Amino acid sequence: MNPSAPSPTPHAVTPQRLLVLGSTSRYRRELLQRLGLPFEVAAPDVDETPQADEAPAALALRLALAKAQAVAQQFPQAVVIGSDQVADLDGEPLGKPGNHERAVAQLRRMRGQTVVFQTAVAVVCQATGFERAELAQVKVRFRDLSDSEIENYLRAEQPYDCAGSAKSEGLGIALLSSIENDDPTALVGLPLIRTCNLIQAAGIRLL
Catalytic residues: 84
DSSP string covering 8-47: PPPPP-PPPPPEEE----HHHHHHHHTT----EE------
Residue from 2, 6, 4, 32 nearest 19 by CA:
32
Cβ-contact 131, 73 below 8 angstroms: no
Residue from 181, 110, 117, 94 nearest 145 by CA:
110
Helices (H), 136-203: 147-157, 192-201
Cβ-contact 131, 65 below 8 angstroms: yes
Cβ-contact 88, 94 below 8 angstroms: yes
> How far is CA 154 from each of CA 106, 134, 171, 173, 176, rounded to the nearest angstrom?
11, 31, 10, 13, 14
